[in-house]
Structure 1
């Protein structure tokens, strides 16, 4: 099993990123930041995260998007502002198809959400600093095992929101 921690839109909070890493860093295979950290890539709070550039990231030299492969699954990471994610997932869906991604992680809207469109899982971990749509300051851990994906949602400082856990079946590889 592979585990991926996914966080976004921490907007300058080194304390939150350090706290999340302290709590989960030893238990996950990859830590992803979906942009708007507002930190330099050399900041100790973000050096262990694989981060992309958000619309508020003026200090770091981050890529606009990255691809990670875990358990044979391709994960596309982007902030979302270049794909108009506040109004539609269609642009990001086409990018996912172009990149042959199984999973897309993005932020920008600060709204927690996860859904499967055709055979692609879209995950927005919400914002640990400035959540919209709910009070919890959320981030997620994605667990990948065989053809199953489990998404666990956490509220910063308050633990797992187990009633929000989601399970997805991934298409068979090969």
Structure 2
């Protein structure tokens, strides 16, 4: 099972277009906000189902958090701004533990992050458009094969 994870695309189509060849081979795509409308664009270009949340730069009336099962894992997806992720994952961890999440996907910082904390995998794919903190422009591919989980960062 392959899951493409993007965030903070900020309507820069040329950068999304560079990611499309990787994403069109995924079983699911997750967009962690900023800009929600970009999730519709990615779906239109790939035909792959996109689970998306709104972020602090979005004005659409859509979910700001998602909790769902996929590939035998429980996912919690949010943009992260409501959990102060620019200052760490403490508040996000509390929410993830309360929800029983196996995998947490978030954005907002524009910096890549992938770490297992107390048995839960936290992934921030960085930004396809405006990377910060030394991160490169890109996204992540998550591969799930039972209990074997791999996170691959992809630079564009």
CA distance in 1, matches of 2:131, 2:38: 22
CA distance in 1, matches of 2:133, 2:154: 15
Larger relative helix fraction:
2
- 2:84 is aligned to 84
Report the CA distance shift for 1:26/1:12 in structure 2 as closer, same or farther (over 3 A): closer
Report the CA distance shift for 1:127/1:44 in structure 2 as closer, same or farther (over 3 A): closer
- 1:36 is aligned to 34
Q: Is 2:120 the partner of 1:120?
A: yes
Aligned pairs for 1:72-151 within 5 A: 72-134=72-134, 136-151=136-151
User: Residues 8 and 107 of structure 1 are in contact (CA less than 8 Å); yes or no, is this contact kept in structure 2?
Assistant: yes
Q: Tell me the CA shift for residue 108 of structure 1.
A: 0.2
For structure 1, the 5+ residue unaligned runs are: 157-174
CA distance in 1, matches of 2:112, 2:55: 17
Question: For residues 20-40 of structure 1, what are the alpha-carbon distances to aligned partners after superposition, in whole Å with 9 as ceiling and x for unaligned?
Answer: 23x024321110110001637
CA distance in 1, matches of 2:55, 2:154: 22
User: Residues 33 and 49 of structure 1 are in contact (CA less than 8 Å); yes or no, is this contact kept in structure 2?
Assistant: yes
SS at match of 1:20: helix
SS at match of 1:94: helix
- 1:54 is aligned to 55
Report the CA distance shift for 1:30/1:88 in structure 2 as closer, same or farther (over 3 A): same
Give the structure-2-normalised TM-score. 0.89
CA distance in 2, matches of 1:148, 1:135: 26
User: Residues 102 and 119 of structure 2 are in contact (CA less than 8 Å); yes or no, is this contact kept in structure 1?
Assistant: yes
CA-atom RMSD in angstroms: 1.8
Give the structure-1-normalised TM-score. 0.80
CA distance in 2, matches of 1:117, 1:25: 27
Larger Rg: 1
Number of residue pairs aligned between Structure 1 and Structure 2: 152
